Amino acid sequence: MKFLHTSDWHIGKVLKGHNRLDEQRAVLREIVRVARDHRVDAVLVAGDLYESSAPSAQAQQLLVQTLLALRRTGAEVIAIAGNHDHAATFDAYRPLMASAGITLAGTARPAADGGVVEFTARSTGEPVAVALLPFLARRHAVRAAQLVTETPREAATGYGRLVRDLLAALTAGFRDDTVNLVMAHLTAAGGKLGGGERSAQSVLEYWVPTSAFPPDAHYVALGHLHRRQSLPAPCPVHYCGSPITLDFGEENDSTVVLVVEAEVGTPTRVTAEVPIGSGRRLRTVRGTVDEVTQRAEEFGDDYLRVLLCEPARAGLRQDVQRLLPNALEVRIDPGFAAPVHTTGPSPPADGADRSPAELFHAYCIARGIADERVEALFTRLHDQATAMHA
């Protein structure tokens, strides 16, 4: 059987105040096209469908339209909640989505209560079982483990061990005559961050050892890390990565979805890493204002983070964004933002012998700001303030 693995859509994600919903719509339309063209038996969406646990109406509408479009390709559609999603809302809408043939899972459940989804692959007639483990916050880990494994758990038990116990309980019913899949949203040990993840939910305390994945799983479809990668484990373990570059820290990551073939008794193969190109490229550029603006045609419609190699001055950001409208972030390169130290004797620490204008001038020098207009503005505002209190 054949399935599509995708994750980390982050619908509703805003980049530096810039709404990207139209881009996200184009990316998801492209994913639907891949599912249709490859005639996959299932689409697995491994969490972080939304950027926020309280998504806008437009973001919710886009998600529903996408899931329905994927279902219309004839594929089974199964999606789990990630750390950005609101798990309880996923579970609340589970019955409604099920009436459309779509499986949503917000929280960990016992295998017999929806923790494992079973279906027959339309292309081969093979039975398929998918064990589902949505994102599990540390504060809920013990309770979830007790619910799924039906055994007591100590609160001090490590997060990785609890997840391992959950996976063991969910996959205990895997059979030799079935294509056995696992889908989870978590940080597997050895995985590399893409660059835009929430660090608080990707740190060491949240790592799960790859030994937690069962050797009889044909494939483990993971979400959470935005970088495409596979990990050494007792079975095939893959992150598909995000299909859209979410932040400038990810600008060199590939944006793909995976098409995978699995068969009973045969090693699973990722047959295609299909590029998703509808999202606009993110690019970091360095140079003086003149240098970066001379390269404007080279940048096309890329979103830019501009690191300027010159001292700060008033209006610098506005000047760059006027010349480069796609510059979403403009900063002084750290090498040019370092304090500038002058030679000669140090002035009195309390500044008692200097006027406010002289103190402000010294401050500008220390901050690497060389702009007479800033100092003139300070002087004018200081004079106005002094006159008001005279």
H, E, C per residue of 320-353: HHHHCCCEEEEEECHHHHCCCCCCCCCCCCCCCC
Kindly report the average pLDDT of the chain as a whole number. 88
pLDDT tens digits for 72-93? 999 999 999 999 999 999 999 9
User: 138 and 210 share a domain?
Assistant: yes
User: 153 and 300 share a domain?
Assistant: no
Domain hosting residue 376, numbered range: 339-390
Predicted confidence (pLDDT) at residue 202 exceeds the cutoff of 80: no
Across the range 180-188, mean pLDDT stands at 96
Query: Quick one: pLDDT at residue 218?
Result: 97
User: 239 and 325 share a domain?
Assistant: no
Return phi, psi of residue 75, to 5°: -85, 150
User: 251 and 359 share a domain?
Assistant: no
Q: Identify the residue with better confidence: 198 or 177.
A: 177
Q: Which pLDDT band holds residue 53 (cuts at 50, 70, 90)? A: very high
Predicted confidence (pLDDT) at residue 200 exceeds the cutoff of 60: no
Closest listed residue to residue 286, CA positions, set 334, 351, 227: 334
Least confident of 56-60, 156-160, 342-346, 373-377: 342-346
The CA–CA distances, whole Å, from 304 to 15, 256, 283, 328 equal 11, 22, 5, 6
Predicted confidence (pLDDT) at residue 221 exceeds the cutoff of 70: yes
Query: Quick one: pLDDT at residue 177?
Result: 96
User: 67 and 156 share a domain?
Assistant: yes
Q: Which amino acid is at 221?
A: A
User: 289 and 346 share a domain?
Assistant: no
User: 53 and 194 share a domain?
Assistant: yes
User: 285 and 269 share a domain?
Assistant: no
Query: Quick one: pLDDT at residue 155?
Result: 45
pLDDT tens digits for 95-106? 999 999 999 999
User: 303 and 158 share a domain?
Assistant: no
Q: Which CATH number goes with the domain that contains 16?
A: 3.60.21.10
User: 45 and 145 share a domain?
Assistant: yes
Domain boundary among 275, 299, 329: 275
Residues 309 and 287 sit within 8 Å (Cβ to Cβ): yes
pLDDT tens digits for 330-343? 999 887 765 545 45
Q: Which pLDDT band holds residue 363 (cuts at 50, 70, 90)? A: confident
Q: Which pLDDT band holds residue 183 (cuts at 50, 70, 90)? A: very high
User: 143 and 217 share a domain?
Assistant: yes
Place of tokens 């249709």: 36
Domain count, the chain: 3
Closest listed residue to residue 217, CA positions, set 197, 241, 237: 237
User: 145 and 189 share a domain?
Assistant: yes
